[in-house]
Structure 1
Amino acid sequence: MDLIQFFGRFHVLVLHLPIGILLLVALIEIHTTLFQKERAKLLNQVWFWGAVSAIFACILGYMLSLGGGYNENAVFIHKSFGISVAVTAIICTLLFSYKKNVGKLLTSALVSLQLFLLFATGHYGANMTHGETYLVEHAPNFVRTIAGFEPHKAPRPAITQIDQADIYLDIVQPILKANCVSCHNDSKAKGQLNLANIEGIKKGGKIEHTLGDGKLSNSELYKRITLDEHDKKFMPAEGKTPLTDTQVKTIAWWIKAGAPMSGTLQASTLSKEDKKALSQTLGLAPADNAWPLAKRTEVPGEVIGQLQKQEFLVKTIASKINYLDVDYSSNLQAISDDAISALVSAKDYIAYLNLINSQITQEQIAEISQLPNLLRLRLNKTPVSDEGIRSLQTLPNLEYLNLFGTQISDSSLRTLTEFPSLKQVYVGQTGVTQTAISEIVAIKPDLQVFALSNKLAEFQESTKQALGKETKKAAK
């Protein structure tokens, strides 16, 4: 059976040959007939190879169907049309090769029949693979009505709070539709499992305990989506995009909750980890390692121009992240008030700011506190004091702060614990003591405090970033 399935899967490759060949020769025959052109004998050879490729596509398609997992009626219809394509191609090959003068009426009839059969075969093949609604999934309602399908349902109201979410309709169904339904639907139920509707989910597949009894260890669905991607039983199969970590956690929560098919979420009953995963699934919280700021349009050229005029080095963070990385570290002169004003004017666009050796004053530091989207700030080797750190406390999104070689003391470290988003701070060669660091880490364990030398700190940071990139590549 494995060998038959090996050859059968070549059906999806070979089927494009008869489609292309027979479609082309049919259109040429129509053109020749309508415009009374001289018919080239080469068309007989084209019909022949179209017929041969159609025969092979039929054989391979039959072998593929033996693997099961498809609706029997859908297979029968697709198979019937496919065989009809091959038979019609054979008839055309023999007729045009051995009969010198084929009437226009007969030619038109055969060619039209061939085109109809090609499109019908392709249509029912697509239905088997992607479901009956694949072609009209994004069609306007009047097209769906003409085709005999129900109009699109009105979109569900946007979820703004986690307690508003319907467990199945807003959380589980979108995950299954995006990752599973293409292989587990009414027409194509791999493993006899249909995940396109509630009835199919409850029925399960040929393997018992599709959802389990509230235990992940008993759930075949959970096992399949958490296998190694190279395992032949891993789902989604056939190279499709795996579920994200957040989606896996969401499905795990659903299974442990007894796989409810109705009802709204109760945030008060969720653990911190489950609430985070479900919030990310609903789009109410950013995904792990996602860009934390709101998406915005392209940065205006005049904003970049004004910063460059003040001798800042300016670049965008990434091609699809329209925020700026602004650097003043290459300048040997103290930063001017005009340069600070330029930063404030561009405050909505600046995410990274490097002011190493800028000789920035306490008054200028207070101006920097107006940058609402600032994520990373480097103040290494500047005369920043405890007073300046207190003025930065209002930065809502600041995650990284480098204060190496500044004039801060233990007082600043206590202030830093009150920064709303701060995750990493470097305090090497400052007045901060190790005792204060230990106390702060005990109070706020999520805050990483580094008291390393500047070079070692930068090496550690660059190494961490490199490992993060490699981890992301491996995850892809």
Structure 2
Amino acid sequence: MLHFPLVALMLYGFWVIIVKKSESTHWNPELADALLLIGTFMASIAAFSGFILSKEEGYEADAIFWHKWLGIAISLVSLTWYSFRVYLSPWKTLSKLIASGFLLLLFIGGHLGGNLTHGEDFLISPVKSSGEGAAKVAFDQAKIFQDLVQPVLDQKCISCHNEEKSKGNLQMQTQALLAKGGKNGVLWDTTKTDLGLLISRVHLPLDDKKHMPPRGKVQLTDEEIELIAAWVKLGSRFDQLVSSLPPQNPIQTYAQNVLGGSSAEEKYDFGAADPDEVSKLNTTYRLIKPLSAESPALLVNFYNRANFKSEAIEALLPLKDQIISMDLSKMPVKDGDLKTLAKFHALRRLILNFTEITGASLADLKKLTNLKELSLSGTTVKAGQVKSLASFPSLKKAFVWSTGLTPEELAQLKKEKKITFETGFRSDTLILPLNAPMIENENQIIAGNAPISMKHQIPGTVIRYTLDGTEPDSVKSPVYNKPFAIGKNTFLKARAFKKGWYGSKQAEKFFFKAGFHIDSVKLITAVDQKYKANGNITIADGVKSERQQNSGKWLGYRDNEFQSYLLFKKPVKASNVTLSMLRNVGGFVFPPVRIEVWGGANEKSLKLLKVITPEMPVKETPNSENLIFDAGFEPQELSCIKLVARPLSKLPAWHPKKGEKAWVLVDEVFVN
């Protein structure tokens, strides 16, 4: 709709300019009229569409003003020209002057539109790039952000996030603006399994409206995604040098390819893996990529703790001869998994930071005769186990900061000559915040009196918690000493405290009591195909969805109410129904305006047991959160329960999509 009318009108304008006389055989009136008509019609549609788009947030008023009105002028001039074409013969001087002026109008309007879409220097950026390429920064002086990350953002992101066009109120042209984030919050958060908005958005399906860059734009390559994710994992520093990283780090590999790095690459005596096998084993949560363009060596990175299983490591064994580096940071890797890792005899680098290993089976890794670097930071390994690393045949460097080792034990390790032990930064004057405690129970659905376990990687840390949804503090809240049992719906919140440190951010998790077994579920109203999950069994399959809207585990309703029957073969004495739902203000997912719980002996003899009217979000409400609605009523025997949840019909005036319908998403229902 945009480019076709530009081409049609330009062709017509050039044609008018070059035609010399009335008897010219090059002029075809019928074809010319058709060309002008098509261009005029589509230019009007394009101008109208552009006018509508200009009402969206994120455009700077001065930048869009001239493009908008030039677009409207082009459609009006072309319409006028078509209406008076019989009086404007192409071989007349007036026609040629009009055509020249019209072409100038098209060029200026189109160029301003290009500036809005691609940035102000989009036309000369290829020339600038080629000129700058000759003066690449030296490898040993290259900075990770300035010389690697920023060029990717400039090419793939900044066209929609600049001072003239700031989609989501996000601008990326300076480091300060990038760190500030947009209306959905900061761009990265290393406490989250998906590392925050920046990384999670690029991993969304291409058809998802929140996928970045949007469909139709040039997408980030796998290497660019891994580069940005690795930079975020390192702490998203703007001043860190590439040369400060170990040779097997994926950023080093990327830098060698882009900058022509001087870092010497090891020569490998094994052949390349089958590309089809590599492609088959690549998933959304496990990235496999070559060390460099011509190298047979492979690097592996794992993402998303919630989706990790030990089998994900074992599945890589067909590539054990080629994998030289594996990053399992923050994955729930246990001691038993080290036996499997020991089979990857080509490994040169293994990262086990903040995993669940205790060091009990660390000796299994001694079989890795090529292992040069091992990272155990944030684990609970003991001094004796770490000292045993000296017997590893090729190990040169080990990272052991934030472990259970005392300052004296760390000082002793620093004296080791065969291995360089990185023990981290220590200071008596610098106060740092603790990271949040870990709630070890992965499953949020509990049966009976389930034990709840928590831990923190830093020794001597005190964990305080609450079970009623209130905020834990450092004075009055109970101290966690050992696992404790819960037997009902419970909202656990916990924080870590230690002398000389700032208190941690809050860790929280809602635990659902499993309740009565629901024999069957019947959906009364049709679920929307965008959020169909596993159909009717979704709300009683015992699988709690992640907070992400597009996890594939939510049932979604927008045009219909959510209505469902829960059926029991034998009557159950119930007094409570719990619904698990989602709120994602940016994704149009709001609480229902009304929830009804009906019950009785069968579908035809139901009575209203409970009505809940949830509070609606306001502009300051946090964007994404799991919602739990408890409907309590007098205990009674029920064989059939009917649930009704009514979506919000119009989003509020403060919402960017005001007036549109909201979604209701539900994933689990529990009857107790």
State TM-score, norm by structure 2: 0.36
| Structure in which a larger fraction of residues adopt strand | 2
Structure with greater Cα Rg: 1
State TM-score, norm by structure 1: 0.49
